[in-house]
């Protein structure tokens, strides 16, 4: 059997975290379905996380979503063991972080993970370039390679020419580009982003999402991205896990979440989503398809409904013919069906 390390960069298995003086006394109580508020009121402990099971495939952009206090930061901090679990396992690249010695953990943090912080966390007395090389400096990489790598990533995030500036000479959006360049310069396989774009103005935020998505096509890192914004989650996530009071309420693809919200809580999030930008043609097509293709226009599986609608409307045809990458027919989609899928909740 192939090792799970080949498929999953990060595995949370039965992970629970209780904050307070005697977590071991509280853990057995979790089996009785005690709620977070009961654990606090009756036992004076805080339930951080309860029985988390999430497998993050290598190269996947995994979004963790949830309201304030739902446990997002506690979860991401388990990945590089800034928080110790009360019970359960955290495997990263197949290795159990809980079992690592202090030295192993130090090496692991330096080489396997890089973080992008909400408040940028740039060193104010260092230039953009010197901030960007920081991780490689700690790794004692030769100076020339540090600078080469940092300059490459600064250029990729659109900061060429700014390398000698200081953080306080840059806007928030530019500072976060430095944060991203610094993380990428570390060249770690796992990128941890806790509300990394939440402090930015809405338009700058969307710009940063675009930069991240463009880069990710090429770097294919495993990214854990925390947000409380559903639009951001749906735009970035290959997979989304939604937390409430320390528990995973639902996890799956964007389409799973939007088309099959697990409960009222998630429904309240997804109600206002622009479905045309999330749902793909093959999900809602008619699989029997029309007999003839004469009055149809071809469209690739994977196309989002909003774009498909614009293709169909400008084609003057009656329906879309959904094809696979080789041009084979998979099904069809009439304008009526397409519009219905875009508006129905």
Ligand X SMILES: Nc1ncnc2c1ncn2[C@@H]1O[C@H](COP(=O)(O)OP(=O)(O)OP(=O)(O)O)[C@@H](O)[C@H]1O
Which residues of this chain interact with Mg ion, rule CB under 5 A? 73
73 counts as binding ligand X under rule CB under 6 A: yes
Cβ contacts of 71 within 8 Å, gap of 6 or more: 17, 48, 49, 243, 245, 246
By beta-carbon proximity to Mg ion, the closer residue of 116 and 159 is 116
Among 5, 13, 19, 29, binds ligand X (CB under 6 A): 19
Query: Smallest gap, in angstroms, from Cβ of residue 228 to Mg ion?
Result: 9
- The partner in contact with residue 68, picked from Mg ion, ligand X, none with C-beta cut-offs of 5 to 8 angstroms by kind, is ligand X
What is the per-residue binding string for ligand X in 22-51, x denoting contact by CB under 6 A? ------------------------x-x---
Stretch 112-151: interaction string toward ligand X, x if CB under 6 A = ----------------------------------------
Q: Could you report how far apart the first and last alpha carbons of the chain are, in Å?
A: 42
Render 31-98 in DSSP notation, one character per residue: GGT--HHHHHHHH--EEEEEEEEEEEETT-EEEEE-STTSSHHHHHHHHTTSS--SEEEEEETTEEGG
How many Å apart are CA 180 and CA 190, to the nearest integer? 13
173 binds, among Mg ion, ligand X, none (CB under 5 to 8 A by kind): none
Task: Give me the helix-helix angle, 143-156 and 172-185, nearest 10°.
Answer: 130
Torsion angle (degrees, nearest 10) of CA 281, 286, 288, 294: -70
How near is the Cβ of 103 to ligand X at its closest, in Å? 25
**Sites for ligand X among residues 223-282 (CB under 6 A):** 228
Task: Kindly list the residues in this chain that would bind ligand X in the complex (CB under 6 A).
Answer: 19, 46, 48, 66, 68-74, 228
């Amino acid at each position: 059997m192939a090792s799970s390390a080949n498929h999953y960069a990060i595995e949370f298995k039965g992970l629970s975290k209780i904050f307070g003086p005697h977590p071991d006394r509280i853990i057995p109580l979790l089996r009785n379905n005690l709620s977070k508020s009961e654990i606090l009121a009756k036992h004076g402990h805080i339930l951080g996380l309860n029985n988390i099971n999430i497998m993050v495939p290598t190269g996947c952009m995994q979004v963790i979503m949830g309201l304030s206090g739902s446990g997002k930061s506690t979860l991401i901090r388990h990945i590089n063991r800034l928080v110790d679990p009360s019970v359960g396992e955290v495997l990263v690249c197949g290795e159990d972080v809980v079992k690592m010695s202090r030295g192993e953990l130090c090496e692991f943090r330096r080489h396997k993970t890089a973080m992008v912080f909400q408040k940028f966390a740039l060193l104010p007395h260092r230039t953009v370039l010197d901030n960007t090389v920081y991780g490689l400096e700690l790794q004692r990489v030769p100076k020339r390679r540090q600078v080469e790598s940092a300059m490459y990533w600064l250029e990729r995030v659109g900061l060429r020419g700014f390398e000698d500036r200081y953080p306080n000479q840059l806007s928030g959006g530019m500072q976060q580009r430095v944060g991203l360049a610094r993380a990428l310069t570390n060249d770690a396989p796992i990128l941890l982003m806790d509300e990394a774009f939440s402090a930015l103005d809405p338009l700058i935020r969307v710009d940063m999402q675009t930069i991240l998505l463009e880069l990710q096509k090429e770097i294919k890192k495993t990214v854990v991205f925390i947000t409380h914004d559903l639009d951001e989650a749906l735009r970035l996530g290959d997979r989304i896990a939604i937390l409430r009071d320390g528990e995973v309420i639902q996890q799956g693809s964007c389409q799973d979440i939007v088309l099959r919200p697990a409960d009222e809580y998630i429904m309240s999030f997804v109600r206002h989503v622009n479905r045309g930008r999330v749902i793909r043609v093959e999900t809602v097509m008619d699989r029997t398809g029309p007999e003839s293709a004469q009055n149809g226009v071809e469209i690739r599986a994977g196309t989002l409904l909003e774009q498909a609608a614009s293709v169909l409307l400008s084609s003057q045809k009656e329906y879309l013919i959904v094809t696979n990458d080789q041009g084979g027919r998979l099904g069809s989609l009439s304008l009526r069906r397409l519009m219905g899928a875009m508006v129905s909740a």
